[in-house]
Structure 1
Amino acid sequence: MAVRLEFLTQDPQEIELAERYWAMDGEGVYLERVSDLLPFREVTQPGALAKHVRHFCRAYDGNQVCHVCNGEMRINGRSEAKKSPQRSSRPCGDCQKLQREEEETRAAASRAALEERLAPISARARSTVISYADLADDSVLILLAIEALIGPKLLQGVFSLRDCDELTPMGGDDFVRRLYRRGVLLDDPAVAEADAYFLKDGELWHKSALVRYFLPPDTLMGRGEEAFSLQRHRELTDAEALTNLWLDYSVADVMRYLHYQCSLHGQDLGSEALEKVEGAVRHGLRRYSVAQMWFIMWKVSKDAAALASRSYYSRESAAATIPTKIRKQLEIADQGSALRNEWTRPEPHIAGSLGMVFNDLFGLDEYSKGADVLELFASLSSQGRDDGVELSELATTFMNATLDGGKSLPALEAFADLVRAGLSTEDALWETINRNPALFQ
């Protein structure tokens, strides 16, 4: 018999039942049907017999060997027996037990190594302080927007990325991570969800969705409402930071609308196409409003849908024309064609708490023209400067000071960055000087 039996009973009737159940001829055909073995005591259904037999008899198939130790494989029912010799695809019971024990040992060692790596991170997170007064203007605006969403959790507790989903129309992950990279927000492994942190090839990784973030205490005033309240009334003058944050937010607002339009027409843009669109949108927002860019998104999506109905276009090839169509619409607008500015926000499309902060502090919304916004931020950077200084005198002072200090190249690069951000020549010079006061003493 190919099946070897190992009895756990001395009951003659049970032994006889097991032998009859497993009895087969030389071809591997069972000699008796299961139904012929019933009833047996309280067992009356064929489906219950195999389970009942397993209680007092272990069966090992001589035709199956474990691929780990080459031992016989234990089987639970007739259907598992094989008619010819072969290696099993799974380990035998003893090997499975050994593998589980080894895996538990490795897991315990991994947990210990992870805890050892996380302990100093938690300790450092709990002891770190930052200067709220030194925070960049855009960091303060993002924090104000987060506070508008989660309230006291920002100042006294911890929060997750999920809590910030309504920071912008496209979520809040990128903005929260920006603060995390700057050290404005920290994470404490001790309060994170299970499996938030893990080791991979000796490196510590984390799953952002499971991490818990918090705002560390202020250097002077600690943590809480009193320390943070000063930031609500601080003077915001960093034109470059404010401009870039407005553009980041506005791009998200426009892209949310484009995704909405594409979903209506069944259009799918790949990552490369989306990157091109974001670049074009960001460029357009330096001059036009979010609502005007919405109009362009509506038009190009509609035009691409009409194009897809033509026999020589597929839906995919038509959608691929959207980035070029956006740039074309911006070219037409730059040449004097008026863009509609009354486009309304769709019902499910929120402005987000960051949009509300921009509105509360600067009166900006989806109808604010990009050129006006950049001019507004540029004007903020001129606060506190000496307007009696002539532009030519200012430029001469700037060049002489940077040349004498041997820092002309980084100073010119900083000046160029501010001009690209939309500042005028004079405003860019003043902003560069304000950021490097030691050069002009």
Structure 2
Amino acid sequence: MTVKLEFLTQDQQEIDLAKRYWAMDEEGAYLERVGDLLPFREITQPGGVAKYVRQICRAYDENQVCPLCDQVLRINGRTEAKKTFQRSYHPCDDCQERQREEQEKRESAERAELEKQLAPYVAHVRSKTISYSDLTDDVVLILQAIDALIGPRLTQGTFSRIDCNELTPMGADDFIDRLYEQDVLEDDPTAARPEAYFLKDGTVWHKKSMVRYFLPPETSLGAGEEAFRVLLDREFSDAEALSNLWLDYAVTDVMRYLHYQCAVHNQTLEFEAIEKIEGTVRHGLRKYSVAQMWFIMWKVVRDAAALASRTYYNLEKAAATIPTKIRKQLEIADQGTGPRNDWSRPEPHIAGSLGMVFNSLFGLDEFSKGAKVIDLFTRLGDQGRGDAELHDLAAAFMKETLEGQRSLPALEAFAEMVRTGLSTEDALMKTIHRNPEFFR
């Protein structure tokens, strides 16, 4: 017998049952079938024998040794016994227990070290404030869109990426990353699940999907609705930031539709192809609308699906032609009247909160042509620069007249220009031009 037994009972009938259960010949074949051992007391079914035998004795297979300590391994039933000697892949029970205790010690030490490293970071983010008025226009738009999704949790609580999943048609990850990397959003380790943060090579890492984010309080106004009003009342004027954000958003709207069409026609795009397509789509959106780009996506995927049915082609080869087909369609469009602009949004395909903000503030949607969108933001930028120049001019006017002790006649001259019906800018310009002595 290659199985060594350690009895937990002194009942001779139970001992005999265990011996008969484990008895085998020189070749390792069991001498009796389990059914031949029945009935035994209250046991009448073969399935109950092994369980009963485990309760009255421990069995150790001398053909199996622990890979760590070389001790024979305990087994629980006949099927676990081996006919030839071998080193087990699994440690024995004692070694497993030692491994478990060592693992618990390591994990406890890692948790202590993690908490130690996180403590100063937690103190830093809890005390951090930012100036809302200094945030760029694109950042403010994204924050407004997040606020539309999660409300007060943005400034008075915490939120996860999944909470913002409807920010755009393709989710929120890229936009959350942008705000986080610019230190606009912070993460709160104390609000996250315990497994969200971990040590890797002695450095703290985190799992983005488990992190909880928050918007730091405003430097002067603190947190809450009054502070956030600074962002809601923003007058936008940064043409470049607004144009780039629109393109970023519009690309997600087009790519969402492309992936939808590919799924319909069983097309799979490689990662490199997706990157190439995103660049081409972004270029096309500078001139065309999202709906026009949808039409192009529909056409090229349909053509690729038809190509896949041809001899010497398959789905993979056909899908690989999609990036080139998109660029070709844009070239054709540039030489003609442009793609159709009446393509409708599929039912499950949302515009997203950021799209709704663009629509609410600027009247933009999937039918807005890219050239006109960029022109709109350019005009806003020009207006913003004009306001800034007027502000600088007014500041210089007040400074010079005060320092020259000519503020009263200067204000009287300015008021006279306003009474004639001139705008503030024109009245200021005429006051300066007609009264150069104020600036001597």
CA contact (8 A) 1:170 1:252 kept: yes
**1:77–1:359: structure 2 CA closer, same or farther, 3 Å change rule?**
same
Match of 1:38 in 2: 38
Taking the aligned partners of 1:30 and 1:336, their CA distance within structure 2 comes to: 85
Q: Deviation per CA, 1:49-73, whole angstroms, max 9, x where unpaired?
A: 1211121211112222212111111
Q: Deviation per CA, 1:60-106, whole angstroms, max 9, x where unpaired?
A: 12222212111111121222222222222211111111111111111
Q: Tell me the CA shift for residue 373 of structure 1.
A: 1.0
Taking the aligned partners of 2:236 and 2:272, their CA distance within structure 1 comes to: 36
CA contact (8 A) 1:186 1:214 kept: yes
Taking the aligned partners of 1:85 and 1:300, their CA distance within structure 2 comes to: 63
Q: Tell me the CA shift for residue 366 of structure 1.
A: 1.0
Taking the aligned partners of 2:251 and 2:49, their CA distance within structure 1 comes to: 68
Q: Tell me the CA shift for residue 181 of structure 1.
A: 0.8
In structure 1, give the amino acid aligned to 2:381. Answer: S
Match of 2:432 in 1: none
Q: Tell me the CA shift for residue 215 of structure 1.
A: 0.7
Match of 2:171 in 1: 171
Taking the aligned partners of 1:296 and 1:83, their CA distance within structure 2 comes to: 67
Match of 1:193 in 2: 193
Taking the aligned partners of 2:265 and 2:47, their CA distance within structure 1 comes to: 54
Larger Rg: 2
CA contact (8 A) 1:288 1:369 kept: yes
Is 1:239 matched up with 2:239? yes
Q: Deviation per CA, 1:146-194, whole angstroms, max 9, x where unpaired?
A: 0111112112111111011111111111111111111111100100123
The share of aligned pairs that are identical, in percent, is 70
Q: Deviation per CA, 1:102-145, whole angstroms, max 9, x where unpaired?
A: 11111111111112122222221111111111111100000000
Match of 1:266 in 2: 266
**1:137–1:51: structure 2 CA closer, same or farther, 3 Å change rule?**
same
In structure 1, give the amino acid aligned to 2:115. Answer: E
Q: Tell me the CA shift for residue 35 of structure 1.
A: 2.2
Taking the aligned partners of 2:99 and 2:112, their CA distance within structure 1 comes to: 20
In structure 2, give the amino acid aligned to 1:207. Answer: K
> What is the TM-score when the length of structure 1 is the normalising length?
0.85
In structure 1, give the amino acid aligned to 2:362. Answer: F
CA contact (8 A) 2:166 2:353 kept: yes
Taking the aligned partners of 1:106 and 1:127, their CA distance within structure 2 comes to: 32
> What is the TM-score when the length of structure 2 is the normalising length?
0.85
Match of 2:278 in 1: 278
CA contact (8 A) 1:121 1:188 kept: no
Q: State which drifts further: 279-288 or 119-128.
A: 119-128
**SS where residue 383 of structure 1 aligns?**
helix
Unaligned 5+ segments in structure 2 are 390-440
CA contact (8 A) 2:237 2:384 kept: no
Is 1:212 matched up with 2:235? no
Q: State which drifts further: 311-320 or 139-148.
A: 311-320
In structure 1, give the amino acid aligned to 2:222. Answer: G
Taking the aligned partners of 2:35 and 2:384, their CA distance within structure 1 comes to: 98
Q: Tell me the CA shift for residue 340 of structure 1.
A: 1.3
Match of 1:90 in 2: 90
Matches within 5 A, 1:358-369: 358-369=358-369
**1:380–1:215: structure 2 CA closer, same or farther, 3 Å change rule?**
same
**1:121–1:385: structure 2 CA closer, same or farther, 3 Å change rule?**
closer
Taking the aligned partners of 1:174 and 1:8, their CA distance within structure 2 comes to: 63
**1:384–1:44: structure 2 CA closer, same or farther, 3 Å change rule?**
closer
In structure 2, give the amino acid aligned to 1:61. Answer: D
CA contact (8 A) 1:73 1:92 kept: yes
In structure 1, give the amino acid aligned to 2:316. Answer: E
Match of 1:24 in 2: 24
Is 1:55 matched up with 2:55? yes
**SS where residue 15 of structure 2 aligns?**
helix
CA RMSD in angstroms comes to 1.6
Match of 1:75 in 2: 75
Match of 2:372 in 1: 372
**1:2–1:380: structure 2 CA closer, same or farther, 3 Å change rule?**
same
Taking the aligned partners of 1:371 and 1:164, their CA distance within structure 2 comes to: 29
Is 1:325 matched up with 2:347? no
Aligned residues: 388
CA contact (8 A) 1:276 1:323 kept: yes
**1:312–1:77: structure 2 CA closer, same or farther, 3 Å change rule?**
closer
Taking the aligned partners of 1:386 and 1:35, their CA distance within structure 2 comes to: 97
